[in-house]
Amino acid sequence: MPLNFSFNSTHRVWILGLLVVLVTLFRFWYATHLELIGDEAYYWYCSHHLDWSFFDKGPGAAVTIFLSRHLFGDTVLGVRFFAVLLSAGTGMGLFVLARMLYGEKVAFWTLIVALVMPLYAVGSILMTIDPLSIFFWTMAAIAFWRAKENQNLLLWILAGGFVGLGMLAKYTNMVELLCFALFCLWSPKQRHQLRRAPFFIMVSTAVAFSLPMILWNYQHHWIGVMHLLQRGDLNKSWHITPSELLVFIGAQAGVISPLIFLGVMVSVFWGQTRVEKQEETRFLQSLFLPLFGLYTLLSLNKAAEPNWPAPCYLAGIILLVGNWDALKKKIPWVKKCVLAAFLLAALETIMLHDTFWLHLPTPASCKACEASWIEKMISAYHDLGALDPLDRAHGAESIARHAEKLAYQQGVDFFISDNYQTASLLSFYLKGHPDTYEPAFDHVKDQFSFWPNYRDQFPVGSKGLFIYLWRYPPRELRDDFLTIQPLDEAYSTYGDRPLKKYYYSICEGLKGH
The DSSP-derived string for 184-248 is HHH-TTTGGGGGSHHHHHHHHHHHHHTHHHHHHHHHTTTHHHHHHHHHTTTTS-----HHHHHHH
Higher pLDDT, 11 or 142: 142
3-state secondary structure of 501: strand
Q: 154: which residues sit within 8 A by CB, 6+ positions away? A: none
Most confident of 74-83, 234-243, 503-512: 74-83
280-316 confidence digits (pLDDT tens): 999 999 999 999 999 999 899 888 888 899 999 999 9
Higher pLDDT, 11 or 163: 163
Terminal alpha carbon distance of the chain: 65
pLDDT of residue 140: 98
Q: 226: which residues sit within 8 A by CB, 6+ positions away? A: 235
Higher pLDDT, 274 or 133: 133
- Indicate if the pLDDT at residue 361 is higher than 70: no
Q: What are phi and psi of 219, to 5 degrees?
A: -70, -25
Asked if 311 and 173 touch (Cβ cutoff 8 Å), the reply is yes
Angle between helices 129-150 and 153-169 (to 10 degrees): 160
Neighbours of 151 (CB within 10 A): 12
Please, which pLDDT band fits residue 371 given cuts at 50, 70 and 90? very low
Short-list 281, 318, 286, 252, CA closest to 1: 318
DSSP state of 337: G
**Per-residue b or e along 26-58, where b marks 16 or more CB atoms closer than 10 Å to that residue's CB:** ebbeebeebbbbbbbbbbbbbbeeeeebbbbbb
95-147 confidence digits (pLDDT tens): 999 999 999 889 999 999 998 888 888 788 999 999 999 999 999 999 999 99
d(CA 436, CA 89): 35
- Percent of the chain at pLDDT > 90 equals 57
Please, where are the H alpha helices in 32-152? 38-47, 60-72, 76-102, 104-116, 118-123, 129-150
Q: What is the mean pLDDT of residues 18-43?
A: 92
The CA–CA distances, whole Å, from 229 to 56, 235, 309 equal 11, 6, 17
161-172 confidence digits (pLDDT tens): 999 999 999 999
- Indicate if the pLDDT at residue 357 is higher than 70: no
pLDDT of residue 406: 95
Q: What is the mean pLDDT of residues 28-40?
A: 93
The CA–CA distances, whole Å, from 103 to 84, 108, 187 equal 26, 9, 21
In whole angstroms, how large is the CA radius of gyration of the chain?
Answer: 24
Boundaries of every domain in the chain: 9-353, 365-510
Could you tell me whether strands 481-494 and 464-468 are parallel, antiparallel, or unpaired per DSSP bridges?
unpaired
Q: 203: which residues sit within 8 A by CB, 6+ positions away? A: 160, 177
d(CA 349, CA 386): 16
3-state secondary structure of 434: coil
d(CA 462, CA 449): 20
d(CA 398, CA 490): 10
The CA–CA distances, whole Å, from 152 to 55, 144, 198, 412 equal 37, 10, 9, 62
414-429 confidence digits (pLDDT tens): 999 989 999 999 999 9
pLDDT of residue 228: 73
